[in-house]
Chain A
């Protein structure tokens, strides 16, 4: 499912990135952030975590995610 979404984003951005690598890295990022809430429960922030994920998307798809914050 995530790979299909990245495949569409790659087509629209017109870059040559790998949908598989992007998908693995994206899912690992989410798992890592979930893990972080166990490691640092008082510092963990859901909104900060969402921002980190969106920043990841912006790095690879600047044309499509520039307006998201």
Chain B
């Protein structure tokens, strides 16, 4: 393996370890108390590496959410393809996928739920702030 490929592989491994640590730590500490330090310690990496890969806690949460979402969609596609054109098998396989060990994990579900609430809340606050500024300006 070339050194460029090795670096890319190391980066991918570090990302996966950090994402997995984020999911585990969030279920223990909650979204507000979760720190980049918790994540780096959980992954067995230095805090500098977390900051290098994700820059901020919000970015780390977004990337983790993307990871969970991609993992779900990839698995969903695989189960759906197995069903062929039969709608009965399609819906049965959807159920199999949704309650498979890989997808149906309390930590991942909690992460998705809390992140969506938090991110939507931030968007709402942002929209509210924009509206307030607009009112003040006009």
Contacts and interface: CB of A to CB of B under 8 A. Distances in A.
From B87, B92, B104, B106, residue with most partner A Cβ within 10 Å:
B87
A50 interface: yes
B91 interface: yes
Contact of B95 (A9, A12, A54): A54
Interface string B84-123: 0001101110111011110010100110010000000000
Contacts, number: 47
B101 to A, nearest CB: 8
Contact of B92 (A6, A35, A46, A54): A54
Contact of B106 (A8, A37, A68): A37
A46 B99 contact: yes
A5 B106 contact: no
Interface string A27-53: 000100111011001000011011001
B84 to A, nearest CB: 12
From B92, B100, B101, residue with most partner A Cβ within 10 Å:
B92
A5 B91 contact: yes
From A8, A54, A65, residue with most partner B Cβ within 10 Å:
A8
Contacts of B99: 33, 46-47, 49-50, 53
Interface string A58-69: 000000110010
Contact of A65 (B88, B98, B106, B113): B88
Contact of B87 (A5, A34, A35, A50): A5
Interface of B: 87-88, 90-92, 94-96, 98-101, 104, 106, 109-110, 113
Pairs of residues from A and B, 4 with the lowest C-beta to C-beta distance, nearest first: A8-B87, A46-B99, A53-B95, A5-B87
